[in-house]
Structure 1
Amino acid sequence: MMTELSSVSTLRERARKNVENGAVTESYSADRETVLRLLNESLATELVCVLRYKRHYFMAKGVKAHVAAEEFLEHATQEAEHADKLAERIVQLGGEPEFDPDTLSKNSHAQYVAGKTLKEMVTEDLVAERIAIDSYREIIQYIGDKDPTTRRLFEEILEQEEEHADDMADLLDGL
């Protein structure tokens, strides 16, 4: 089924309406409030993961701690990059990124479980990655073709979360 393209004059006319909405044009078909909630929950998830990975980086002990610590630090950095991209998208959609520490843990899909041993730390990180993977897959399915930019953002993050899970599974296998 072929969608009819708008004329140049129609595009220009629509662009002048509601200019205060920035990137959110008349053709945006997703439920913006729901997308903003999902983005903020994902932002909270990423920030909680940054904190957990950072703790694990500093607390890793044992013979194999060096390899695990390097992975923890790399993942913390990448999760922070995900958080930045999510916050940027929230602003593009006219929302406000939620950074209030009191609500991060409540809004995060993943839990903050410290873990005492290296094996517990890696296990908790793997569990959190698996939660993010399922969560982001569901969000991608929910968004569908209603917001391609947000969908692509989640697809990019999902790809890296799958790599993180694979890294943690490999580490766990070696412990």
Structure 2
Amino acid sequence: MTGSLALDVDRIRREAQRTIDAGPVRSAYGPDIERVISVLNNVVAAEVVGWLRCTRQAILAHGTAPTPTSKLFEAQADRKMRHAVAVADRIVQLGGQPNFDPATLAQRARTDYSTADDAALRAMLEQNLLAARIVVPTYRQIAHWLGDRDPASRHLIESVLIDEKQNARDLTALLSASSNAPAPAPSPGRPLHRGTPDR
């Protein structure tokens, strides 16, 4: 049939292979992709260290029965693990490898895995609040740095940032509450936006 669409199958195959070889979104970053993956791996480290800290504190605060403080620590630990997994997923989508190496977690985390020797609840709350006050401006800066180059990664970090701000508010409320006042229930957190590769 004259006028029919002629496809250059070889050319299409070559272009498709080049796209696959380039990785999911590497062309959007060029040489910066390794820096992006490194920064996201630092977020993974911070959230894993936070999960470890909050999990330990939840166990200590629980004692023989659940308390409002132990429930808050449990909720925050759960959020942090979900953050770490979601950001690790995004790293894979970017063609990288998530780094959960225990040998380097602490140095990449920016926050400190410190524990109160006497397991005092106020000291544990203060440790987590300090960590939140470190990661909130850090994540805000990362989201700004990502900008429009990778909206999926930026939206993911912004979702984590919203949760971390809520963590800070919950911790501040518990710290400022009097010993006889009922502590606020931990907020459930927002569903995380799991980044998808840009097309």
Same fold (TM over 0.5): yes
CA contact (8 A) 2:28 2:150 kept: no
Distance in 1, matches of 2:27 and 2:36, equals 16
Question: What's the counterpart of residue 100 of structure 2?
Answer: 99
Root mean square deviation of aligned Cα: 2.1
Q: 1:29–1:147: 8 Å Cα contact kept in structure 2?
A: no
**Residue 176 of structure 2 aligns with which residue?**
173
How many corresponding residue pairs? 162
Sequence identity, in percent? 36
Q: Unaligned 5+ residue runs, structure 1?
A: 1-11
Greater CA deviation, 19-28 or 76-85? 19-28
Query: Deviations for 1:45-68, whole angstroms, at most 9, x for unmatched residues?
Result: 000000000010011168xx7101
Trace 1:1-175 onto structure 2 (pairs within 5 A).
16=16, 17-24=18-25, 26-28=27-29, 31-60=32-61, 66-115=67-116, 116-174=119-177
Tell me which moved more, 53-62 or 124-133: 53-62
Q: Which moved more, 1:135-144 or 1:28-37?
A: 28-37
Opposite residue 120 of structure 2, the aligned amino acid is T
Normalised to the residue count of structure 1, the TM-score between the two structures is 0.85
Contact 1:140-1:154 at 8 Å conserved across structures: yes
Distance (whole Å) between structure 2 residues aligned to residue 145 and residue 30 of structure 1: 16
2:27 match: secondary structure? coil
TM-score by length of 2: 0.75
What's the CA shift string for 1:67-113, capped at 9, x where partnerless?
01000001101100000001001111111111111110011011111
- The answer on whether the counterparts of 1:44 and 1:104 sit within 8 Å (CA) in structure 2 is yes
Q: Report the Cα offset of residue 24 of structure 1.
A: 1.3
Find the aligned partners of 2:171 and 2:98 in 1 and give their Cα distance: 29
Distance 1:61 1:149 in 2: 37
1:141 shift after superposition: 1.2
> What letter matches 1:59 in structure 2?
L
The AA in structure 1 aligned to 2:145 is Y
Q: Distance in 2 between matches of 1:72 and 1:18?
A: 44
User: Deviation of residue 15 (structure 1)?
Assistant: 6.3
- Give 1:60's aligned amino acid: A
